[in-house]
Amino acid sequence: MDRMLVVVFDTEPKAYEGKKALIQLENEGSIVVYAHAVIAKNADGTATVKQSDEPGPLGTLLGTSLGALIGLLGGPVGLAVGAVAGLAVGGTVDLNKARVGEDFVDDVTKVLLPNKFAVVAEIQEDWTTPVDTRMEAIGGTVFRRALKEVKQTIDDEEVAAMKADMAQMKAEHAKAHADRKAKLQEKINQLDSKIQARLEKNKEQRQAAEQQAKAKVEVLKVKAATLKAKAAERHI
């Protein structure tokens, strides 16, 4: 199952130890790590990315579910630019992009207080014991949540409702007197702009989800090839 994982630590060295343990668990075959980062919660409430995984099939964190979650963990003031050049997410990050519930973000932020650190990762795991056991031994507090499926149902319903409103306005426009037609046309144009913007947003979300899904497949292929190569080396 694909999950979002956040492990909160009291110190930066412990966070890096947690990141190392995460990679070790992957090397042991217990989990798959799609992307990860070490972040710091600053005294002013912002979150700074201290370290992230090497650029790979998933690309930079920006635009991914992981990047969106990190932006949300920065609270209203957002994410400060950290060690990763170009990664700066504002506090208005769309919760849908993070693919976790608002309650999950609230639970994490209650523990990820200023001057604390966290390992944030998007992973695949079949059972929780390996990660929990390793992280708790280091002193980490573990939070995880299964990633939501990308659904457009609510947005589609909203677009349908706006289209219904516009159809009604057009019907009124056809029967209205000249002085009323101009005002109705202005409202129709404004509503049409909103519909087009929502449709474009929906399209971008679907494309981003498809790209991330393809990237994850590539990550799994690369990791499988690496394991196969290592196994072959052991038999030489």
Instruction: Please give the residue that has the higher pLDDT: either 188 or 53.
Output: 188
Give the pLDDT confidence score for residue 60 in this predicted structure.
53
Instruction: Please give the residue that has the higher pLDDT: either 42 or 155.
Output: 42
Give the pLDDT confidence score for residue 127 in this predicted structure.
87
User: Is residue 207 predicted with pLDDT exceeding 50?
Assistant: yes
Give the pLDDT confidence score for residue 35 in this predicted structure.
85
User: Is residue 43 predicted with pLDDT exceeding 80?
Assistant: yes
Whether the CB-CB separation of 192 and 166 falls below 8 Å is answered with yes
Each residue's pLDDT tens digit, 147-188: 865 555 556 777 888 888 888 889 988 888 887 888 889 888
**Cα(19)–Cα(6) distance, integer angstroms:** 11
pLDDT band at 58 (very low <50, low <70, confident <90, very high): very low
Determine how β-strand 79-80 pairs with β-strand 47-52: parallel
204-215: average pLDDT? 72
pLDDT band at 77 (very low <50, low <70, confident <90, very high): very low
**Angle 172-178-186 (CA atoms, 0-180°, nearest 5)?**
65
User: How many Cα atoms within 13 Å fall on the side-chain side of residue 150?
Assistant: 17
User: Is residue 65 predicted with pLDDT exceeding 60?
Assistant: yes
| Edge-to-edge order in the sheet of strand 141-146 | 79-80, 47-52, 31-41, 117-125, 2-9, 141-146
- Unique residue bearing structure tokens 């056809």: 174
- Unique residue bearing structure tokens 């966290």: 118
**Cα(161)–Cα(139) distance, integer angstroms:** 50
Burial 109-118 (b: 16+ CB within 10 A, else e): beebeeebbb
Closest CA to 5 of 130, 149, 137: 130
**Cα(153)–Cα(62) distance, integer angstroms:** 25
Greatest mean pLDDT among 39-43, 139-143, 153-157 lies in 139-143
Give the pLDDT confidence score for residue 57 in this predicted structure.
43
> DSSP assignment, residue 116?
-
Give the pLDDT confidence score for residue 81 in this predicted structure.
39
Instruction: Please give the residue that has the higher pLDDT: either 81 or 119.
Output: 119
**Cα(5)–Cα(19) distance, integer angstroms:** 11
Candidate from 88-92, 121-125, 229-233 with smallest mean pLDDT:
88-92
Give the pLDDT confidence score for residue 178 in this predicted structure.
80
> DSSP assignment, residue 77?
G
> Mean pLDDT over all residues of the chain?
79
